[in-house]
A and B are shown apart, each in its own frame.
Chain A
């Protein structure tokens, strides 16, 4: 597992039913592109997060395939409709097989 990987997600605590909210996510990750070389001229192997998904109560919101051209600490901002109270689940898939997960619940007022 890559070191120091910490997902951070910003979701409003409550929303009106059917309201569109904005979600911001960021995960600290080096996103080593596989293009860089170290001091001895050896290629540094690729190590990135290759997929990110967000689901709400099991229904997909966004599913992103990441390539090495995504910046260090991949950041995503997107909109989601909240039909009912429930839980957002965010998942990041690392090249090395690790899966990072976090979830946020939202209430409907």
Chain B
């Protein structure tokens, strides 16, 4: 695909319009619904799950995150400001003793990254990290 100046401008305008039309609250409730679906409506504690993400991400296309949840069987990661909030689900096998993993994710804009862990005893843990995304490097 060629990036002529005209194309880039048209694309930029289109994205801005799409973002303002769909709005933020809709995204947030979708995320909450998905979390509720994952937990089955159970109470969600916090503390045992740690989620590491940069405070400021210069490039929203590759944001490094790390999850660490000793005693978890599965961890799901959500980004509440993305068009599709689900990011990834990590299912840990018996050989992954530390129950930790890291990867790189896409973030459409500044938002919260949320991790929800299902523990071995059936309880749930949650961790939220706000990430500021400054695509283009002109400040957020």
Contact = CB atoms under 8 A, between A and B. Distances in A.
Interface string A7-51: 000000000000010000000000001010111010000000000
* Secondary structure of the A contact surface, majority rule: strand
A72 B61 contact: yes
B101 A78 contact: yes
A83 B7 CA distance: 56
B97 A81 contact: yes
A70 B17 CA distance: 24
B103 A65 contact: no
B123 interface: no
B88 A65 contact: yes
A77 B101 contact: yes
Please classify how large the interface on chain A is, using the bins under 10, 10 to 19, 20 to 34, 35 or more: 20 to 34
A63 B95 CA distance: 12
A67 interface: yes
A61 B97 CA distance: 9
B94 A69 contact: no
A67 B87 contact: yes
Contacts of B97: 20, 79-81
Interface of A: 20, 33, 35, 37-39, 41, 55-56, 59-72, 74-81, 83
14 contacts: A20-B97, A55-B93, A59-B93, A60-B94, A64-B90, A67-B84, A67-B86, A69-B105, A69-B107, A70-B106, A71-B105, A72-B62, A76-B103, A78-B96
